[in-house]
Amino acid sequence: MSDKLFAGLAAQLQERDAAGLTRRRRLLETAQGVHIKCDGQTVLSFCSNDYLGLANDPELINAWQQSANIAGVGSGASHLITGHHHYHELLEKALADFIGLPAALLFSTGYMANLGIMTALLGRGDAVFADRLNHASLNDAAVLSRAELYRYPHNDLSALEAMLKTSNAPRKLVVADAVFSMDGDLTPVPALLALCEKYDALLLLDDAHGFGVLGKEGRGTLSHFNLTSPRIIYMATLGKAAGVFGAFVAADQIVIDYLLQNARTYIYTTASPPAISATLIKALEIIKRDESRRVHLQGLISLLKSGLQLKRWKLEESVTAIQPLIVGSNEEALALSEYLLTKNILVPAIRPPTVPKDTARLRISLSAAHSEHDVAQLIQSLNDAESEMAA
Ligand SMILES: *Cc1c(COP(=O)(O)O)cnc(C)c1O
């Protein structure tokens, strides 16, 4: 490679660094959880997506070990060759049943699911209508699909309607995070669905943060709103509340049949290890039967809301495990995160471009694995931080 090419890359890295935007990885030395050892420091963590505390659950570890004894560690092939195992099949059926839609299809990751769904369903001349705060994978998927991309202001359904009204694309898809990943708020699904019906569009909902947490028995955002429709293409990830890894899409049988034939991130990739699916079947059982995890989580959310006495920073309105504390400037958000770390509390500062300019925040994520004492400790430290950092 030429020196010039390397110099160009180095200059761009330097530019990023000068803007304070260099990202670095923390080194985790324990299993994921609430009390972890990270970069050599033992901390109380509020930064995983393991909302139900299942990532290190003994019952799931046992399921993983037992199923690996039976099915091995690797799937050895893609689903359409010989990689589609009995465990994958069982999990797909269990997921479709759990969500209340006719059929489901597994993907290796949520990122791949979104790319696969949108590139299969859309092409040149079609149109995608996307909330501005959608997850990056949905935006990437829209671009890769070659459809026209229209982004509407966050949860602004009149802006969306204006866009839908003027579109004469043959296939229209409205896409939104069901629970927004950096804000924790919900998309108004019933109103969104009504617009899709009015303008004959499909609705893709990404429930990465609602699955397992919201709705009856943790069945997710559709259950939370108590609705279903053949227009809905429901997608959720299995590496967050479900505690393991992977993703799926649930929809009408014809949509699933179509994706099986056309979703390139499904077809041209190795099937995930069958033991992961076996473990997820067990995770689904726990999600369904153990209401106490969701009750406890809701209790922690109320505790956090009632305990914080902040003037300078504001907790966003959110009924989910994602509780963002809006700080404003990048520097102050970083300083607050660093202050908490001196108290052995880990909460990441999220800055642009992940969130809009001037809305840098701490993304507090609560888990059923937290105790009330853990949350009380966070409250105390945040309340202290505001008075001490202002001084
Ligand atoms: C995490 C996330 C994804 C990606 O899922 P992975 O399984 O981690 O690839 C997609 N959409 C949203 C909203 C997410 O939060």
Which of 181, 194, 271 shows the shortest CA–CA distance to 232? 194
CA 7 to ligand 1 centroid distance, Å: 34
Most ligand 1 atoms within 8 A of CB, residue of 32, 111, 276 to mutate = 111
- The low-confidence residues of the chain, meaning pLDDT below 70, are 1, 391
pLDDT for position 352: 87
Count other C-beta atoms under 10 Å from residue 267's C-beta.
16
CA 311 to ligand 1 centroid distance, Å: 33
Ligand 1 neighbourhood includes 320 CB (under 6 angstroms): no
Does residue 348 have a cis bond before it (omega within 30 degrees)?
Answer: no
pLDDT for position 64: 98
Domains and CATH numbers, the chain: 24-52+291-390 (3.90.1150.10), 58-289 (3.40.640.10)
Please tell me the number of Cα atoms within 13 Å of 34 on its side-chain side. Answer: 18
Beta-bridge partners for 179: 186
Q: Which atom of ligand 1 is nearest to the CA of 179?
A: 13
Residue nearest to atom 10 of ligand 1 (CA): 110
CA 138 to ligand 1 centroid distance, Å: 9
Ligand 1 neighbourhood includes 128 CB (under 6 angstroms): no
pLDDT for position 1: 62
pLDDT for position 50: 98
Ligand 1 neighbourhood includes 88 CB (under 6 angstroms): no
Ligand 1 neighbourhood includes 239 CB (under 6 angstroms): yes
pLDDT for position 153: 97
Measured between its terminal Cα atoms, the distance across the chain in Å is 52
Classify each residue of 70-105 as buried b or exposed e, where b means 16 or more C-beta atoms within 10 Å of its C-beta.
ebeeebeeebeeebbbebbeebbebbbebbbbbbbb
pLDDT for position 389: 85
